[in-house]
Structure 1
Amino acid sequence: MRFNSTPQTTTLLIFLFALISLVLHLIGLNNYGIGRDEFLHIALGNHPAPGYMEVPPFIAWIAKFSITFFGDSAFAIRIIPATFAALTILTAGFIVKEIGGRNFAITINGVALCLSPAFLASGYLLQPVVFDQFWWVLTYFLLIKYTYTRQSKYLLFLGPVIGLGLLTKYAILFVIIAMIAGLLLTTQRKLLVKKQLYMAVLIAFLIFLPNIIWQYLHHWPVLTHMKELTSTQLVHNTAGGFIKAQLISNGTALLLWIPGLLLLFFHQSLKQLRWVGFSFLLLLALLIYFKGKPYYAFGVYPVLFALSAYGIELVTQRTNNSLKYVIAFLLLLPNAVFMPMFIPILPIDRAVVYFKSLHMDDFLYWEDGKKHQTTQDYGDMFGWEEMTAITAKAYAMIPENQRKGTTIFVENYGEAGAIDHLGKKYKLPPVVSLSSSFTLWAPERIPYQYIIYVDDKGQVEKTKPAYAKAELIGAVANKLSREYDTKIWLLTGPKADINPGYQSALKDKRQ
C-alpha cells in the first residue's frame, strides 16, 4: 500500500532535517581538538597511495582535499564529514518518501536520526565511518528505488556507489552479503538475476581494483592489520556486549526501530521490503560471529528508521494527528539530553560534570576496559598540543648545527600524526614511527646522534642502554587525555649505531 501523492512540503521537510543535522554538528566541530584517528588520516593524505595498512584510500583523499581547500583546523577537516552525515539523513528521508511516507513518517525518521547518539557521535569526525554509513544507506536506497520503479538504471548506479564504499571501508562487504542473503529469503530474489546488477558488480570491481593491486604488491597488509586488530581489540568483544550496544546506541529511538522491525516482518503492506529486515538480522549475526565492533552495524539503522517510520505511519493512520506528533516527540526528544556526550558543545570541564549527572557509565568505558571521566572520542582530542610543545622543547635543546642528526621516534600513530601535523609551527622534522601506515614511509635508516623518544608504554627502556644519557623532558599532564602521562625523552651520546635493531623492527612490520 502506498499513500496518495506526497505534498511538496514533504521534500522541504526532508531537507530541513538534513540541515538540522549539519547545524548541530557544525556547532561543535572546533571546540576540543583534532582526534587521534583524524591525525592518522591527515598523515595518509600527505602520502597519496592506492591503499594503506589499515584503511582504503578514500579517507586520505578527503583529508587532502579538506586541508588544501579549507585549512588544517579541526573545523576545516570536519566540514566534509558533517556534510556527509547530513546527506545520510537526506537519503534516509528520500527512502521514506519513495515508499510512500508522508510528513509524520518524515518527521519521526528525521528527529530520530538527528538526535541518535550513534549518529551524533560519528557524524563529524574525519573518519571512514561517516562515509561508510552514507554508502550503505545509498546502496539500500538504490535497491529500494529499483523495487518501486523497476528502472534498471538504479541497479547500474550501485556500481560506483559500492566501488566507492569499498574504497572507504572494507566493512561494506558485510552488508552486501547480508543484502544478498536477505533478497534470497524473499520474493525479491528475482532481482539477483538482472544483468544490470552484474554490470554494476563489474563497475565496482574496476573502481576497487587499484586497491586490490596495491594490497597484493604490499603482501596484503590489511590481513596483517585485521589479525592484529582481532588479537588486541576484537578478542574482547562478546555477543552480549554487541547486542547491548545495538539496543542503547540509538537511545530512545529504540522505541522506533524495534516496532518497525516487527512491522517489516508481519505487516502485509511492507512485504516487498521484508528483505531489509532479513538483511539487518543477518548483518548482526555476521558481525557477532566475526566479533565486530558494535558501530560496524550503525550504517543500516538510517534505513531501518526510515522503514519503521513508514510502518508506524501506516498503522496509526486513524489516530489523531496532533496526538501522534506529541507522543512521537515525547519518545524521541529525550535523546537531546545526551547530546553533550556525543558532540563537543560544552566546555570540557562542564561536560565532565554533566556526564556524572547522567550516570551513563557505559559510554565512559574505553578500550582499556576502565571507566574514565569522559568518552574515549573526547579523550582522543586532548593532550596533543601539550605533547608537541614538549617535543619541540626537547628539539630546541639540541645544538642547531647538530639537529640533522636527530630523529623524533614515537610509539603510536596518534602521536606520530599529531606531532607531524602540529609540529609545523615549531619547524620539527618529520617523525619516525613503526605504527600502522607510518611504517610504509619510514626511512630505511635514521639519524641517531639524538633521539627524541615519545613513549607511552615504556618501550624507551629498550633503547636507553644504547645511549650515555636519557633525560626526561616532560610528560602529558592532561588527565582527560588518552595520552596522559606519555613521556618525552631526549637520548644523547650514542654508544653504537642503533640502525641494525631499527631495520630489523622495520622489516618485521612490513612483512
Structure 2
Amino acid sequence: MRKTYWLLFIFLLIKIVLQFLVVNPVYELHRDEFLHLDQAKHLAWGFHSVPPFISWVSWIILQLGNGFFWIRFFPALFGALTILVVWKTIENLRGGIYAYVLAGTALLLSVLLRINILYQPNAFDILAWTLIYFCVIRYVQTERNKWLYFLAFCFAVGFLNKYNIVFCLAGLLPAILLSKHRKVFFNKHLYFAIVLALVLISPNLLWQYQNDFPVVRHMKELADTQLVHIQRSSFVKEQFFYFIGSIFILIAAFISFFKYGAFKPFRFLFIAFALTIAVFLTLKAKPYYAIGLYPIFFAFGSVYLSHILSSGWKYYLRYALFVPLLFFGYALIKTSLPIFTPAQYVERAQQKEPFSEHTWEDGKKHPISQDFADMLGWKELTHKVDSVYSQIPNKKRIFILCDNYGQAGAINYYTQQKGLVANAFNTDYDKWLNLDQKIETVIRIKTINNVDFTRDRSLFQNVDVLTRLKTPLAREKGAQIILLSGPKVDIAALLRKERAEGKLN
C-alpha cells in the first residue's frame, strides 16, 4: 500500500509539472482567464457567464498575489485530483499496480492535458463529474447513505462551477431507474440529499431569479453564435480524438460491464454514458462538454485489462498497450498544445501538416487554434493603453472602454498604471461600471470589425485613432486604440441613463 501511494504521488507530481511544460513562454493568459480573475474583485452568487465557484478560486489567487504560477496551478491541481479519484476507484475495484499505472498514464496523455492548461471552469467540471460517478460507485458497493450526501455535495459544488453538471444527472438518474438499483429511489436519505443539494445551490438560483435568469440569455447567445456552427458528426468524431491513444481502455470498460462478473452491478453506467451522449447530440452541444464522462471508465477498463491479461502469452500484451498511449500522447502534445510559436504554426499550415488547420467558432479555418490566438497580443494592447493613459494629466476623468471582456480583463491584469481600470458594456463588466466620476476623456479600444465612429463623433469633438494592435495571429490583431476628447454632453450621466434603461451596448 505504501508503494502504491508513492506511485500515486509521482503521477500527481508529473501531472502538475507537465501542465507548466507544455505551454510555450511566448503565450500569455487566455481571454477567459482575464474575466475570471476580474470576477474575484466583484464577488457575487453568480455572473452572466458562469456560476460563482471560479470567482472564489480567483479570490484565493488574488490573495496569493495574482501571479501566473497560481493561475496555471489550480487547473493543473484539478486535473491531478481527477487522476486521484480514478486511482481511488481502482483501489475500490480491487485493481493492482498495473491498473493504476495504465489508467494514470492514459489520463496523463489525454485531452485533459489540453483542458488543464487553461484557468476555466472546465477543469473543475471534469473533476466534479468524476466525483459524482465515484460516489455512485461507492454507494452501489456499500449501500451506505453517506455516499448519497457526498454525491449531493459534489453535485452542488459542480453546479456552482458550471451548469453543465446537470447533464451528468440527466444520464445517471434514468440509468439507475432502469437498473436493479432503482430501490435507491425508495431511500429517504436520497431525498434528504436532494434537499441538501438544493440548499447549497439556492443562493445561485436566487441570484439567477433576481437577475432575470442571465443563464438563459447566455445559452441563447451560445446557440445563436457558436452552437449553430456545430455538426453532430463533428461531436462524435471529437469524442474519439479526445482519448484516441487510450480508447481501447474505454472499450474494455464497456465490455467489462457485460463480460466480467464483478462489474455487472455497474452495467447501468454504460446506459448512463449512452443517455448522456444522446442528450448532448440532441442539443448540438460542444464536443468538450462530454469530457467529464470518460475518466471514471478508465478505472473499469484498466482493472478489466489487468484481469484478462494476467497469464500466458497475453501477459506480455500488458506492456504493448503502453505503445499507443505514448505514441498518441506525443502526437497530442505536438498537435494540440501550444508548444510551438505562432510563426511555427503558420509554417506547419503552409506545409499542410496533419491537424495544422483549426476551425474557430466562426466556422472558418485558421493556421492556429482559437484558444492559442486568444493567448496573444494582450501585453501589447496593455502597453499601448498604459502609454496613452500616462500622458493624460487628469486621470480621475478618464474612462477606458473596450469592445469585449478579453480586452478589459487583459488591461486590468497587465497594466502597470496605478488606478487604471478598463471597462466594457458586455458580459459581466456592464454590472461593474463606476459612473460616479465626470468623464472628460475616453480611451476607446475597438475590434477590427468595429469601424463605426458615428456615435463617437456625435458625443465628442475629437476622435483620434492613435495606434493598432500588431501581434501576428492574435485574435485581436488590428484592434484600434482611439482617444475621444472634448465631450459635447455629460458622458457619465448619459451612460447612467442608458444603463438604467438597459441600452448600454
Which TM-score applies when normalising by structure 1? 0.91
What residue identity is the alignment partner of 1:451? V
In structure 1, what is the equivalent of residue 271 of structure 2? 278
- AA in 2 matched with 1:415: Q
For 1:409, which of 390, 401, 411 is the aligned residue?
Answer: 401
Structure 1 counterpart of 2:76, which letter? A
CA gap 1:62/1:341 in 2 versus in 1, 3 angstroms:
farther
Post-superposition shift, 1:501? 6.6
Does the Cα contact within 8 Å between 1:255 and 1:331 map onto a contact in 2? Answer: no
Q: Within 2, Cα distance between the matches of 1:356 and 1:20?
A: 34
> Counterpart of 2:208?
215
1:189 has 2:182 as partner: yes
User: Take 2:407 and 2:477, find their aligned partners in 1: how far apart are those partners?
Assistant: 12
Could you give the per-residue CA deviations for residues 289-322 of structure 1, whole angstroms, max 9, x where no partner exists?
1221111111111012222222222332335476
Contact kept, 8 Å, 1:341 with 1:351, in 2: the verdict is no
Please say if residues 158 and 165 of structure 2, whose CA atoms lie closer than 8 Å, have aligned partners that are also in contact: yes
Task: Describe the shift of the 1:207–1:357 C-alpha distance in structure 2 as closer, same or farther (beyond 3 A).
Answer: farther
| Counterpart position of 2:114 | 121
Correspondence for 2:80: 86
What is aligned with 1:52?
47
> Deviation of residue 265 (structure 1)?
4.1
**Is the partner of 2:467 in helix, strand or coil?**
strand
Following superposition, the deviation at residue 476 of structure 1 comes to 1.4
Q: Which amino acid aligns with 2:285?
A: G
Residue type matched to 2:214 in 1?
Answer: P
Q: Secondary structure at the match of 1:429?
A: coil
Deviation at 1:159?
A: 2.3
Residues 377 and 59 (structure 1), Cα distance of their counterparts in 2 relative to 1, 3 Å cut? same
One-letter amino acid of the structure 2 residue matched with residue 324 of structure 1: L
What is the rounded CA distance, in whole Å, between the counterparts of 2:339 and 2:401 in structure 1? 34
Instruction: Give distance in 2, aligned partners of 1:369 and 1:72.
Output: 34
Distance 1:452 1:270 in 2: 63
Q: Is the Cα contact below 8 Å between 2:498 and 2:504 reproduced in 1?
A: no
Identity over aligned residues, as a percent?
32
Partner of 2:307: 314
**Using a 3 Å threshold, how does the CA distance of structure 1 residues 507 and 121 change in structure 2: closer, same or farther?**
farther
- Equivalences for residues 254-333 of structure 1 within 5 A: 254-320=247-313, 323-333=316-326
Structure 2, gaps ≥5 residues long: none
Query: Displacement of 1:213 after TM fit?
Result: 1.1
**Most deviating of 361-370 and 32-41:** 361-370
Q: Distance in 1 between matches of 2:287 and 2:390?
A: 44
Is 1:437 equivalent to 2:428 in the alignment?
Answer: yes
What is the CA distance between 1:355 and its match in structure 2? 7.4
Aligned residue for 1:125, secondary structure, equals coil
Q: Secondary structure at the match of 2:161?
A: coil
Aligned CA distance change for structure 1 residues 26 and 286 (closer, same or farther; 3 Å): same
Matched residue type, 1:220: F
Residues 317 and 185 of structure 1: is their aligned pair in 2 closer, same or farther, counting only changes over 3 Å? farther
Aligned runs of 1:141-220 on 2, under 5 Å? Answer: 141-220=134-213
Report SS of the residue matched to 2:502: helix
Matched residue, 1:450 = 441
Distance in 2 (alpha carbons) for counterparts of 1:369 and 1:158: 38
Q: Helix, strand or coil: the match of 1:453? A: strand
Question: 1:421 maps to what in 2?
Answer: 413
Gaps of 5+ in 1: 1-6
Partners of 1:16 and 1:150 in 2: CA distance: 33
**Structure 1 residues 214 and 468, CA, compared in 2 at 3 Å: closer, same or farther?**
same
**Per-residue Cα deviation, 1:333-367 (whole angstroms, up to 9, x for no partner):** 11123214444445555566567779343772221
Q: Which residue of 2 aligns with 1:75?
A: 69
1:400-430 superposed Cα distances (whole Å, 9 cap, x missing partner): 03x333211101111111111212x123532
Instruction: Classify 1:235/1:348 alpha carbon distance in 2 versus 1 (closer, same or farther; 3 Å).
Output: closer
| Matching residue within 242, 245, 260 for 1:249 | 242
Q: Which amino acid aligns with 2:331?
A: V
Report if aligned partners of 2:250, 2:297 keep a CA contact under 8 Å in 1.
yes
Larger mean CA deviation between 46-55 and 494-503 belongs to 494-503
Residue 380 of structure 1 corresponds to: 374
CA contact (8 A) 1:33 1:74 kept: no
TM-superposed deviation, 1:96: 1.6
Structure 1 CA distance for aligned equivalents of residues 127 and 503 of structure 2: 33
Cα deviation for residue 11 of structure 1 reads 4.0
What TM-score does the superposition give when structure 2 sets the normalisation length? 0.92
Q: 1:141 Cα shift? A: 0.8
**Aligned residue type for 1:438:** Y
CA distance in 1, matches of 2:118, 2:464: 36
Residue 13 (1) aligns with residue 7 (2):
yes
SS in 2 for 1:166: helix
1:390 corresponds, among 362, 370, 384, to 384
Counterpart contact for 1:109–1:306, Cα < 8 Å: yes
Once the 2 structures are TM-superposed, how far is the Cα of residue 383 of structure 1 from its aligned partner? 0.5
Q: Does 1:38 align with 2:29?
A: no
Q: Report the alpha carbon displacement of residue 502 of structure 1 after superposing the two structures with TM.
A: 7.2
For residues 427 and 52 of structure 1, what CA distance do their matches in structure 2 show?
A: 26
Tell me how far 1:510 sits from its aligned partner. Answer: 8.4
Alignment CA distance shift 1:269-1:215 (3 Å): same
Distance in 2 (CA, whole Å) between partners of 1:227 and 1:419 is: 28
Secondary structure of 1:492's partner? Answer: strand
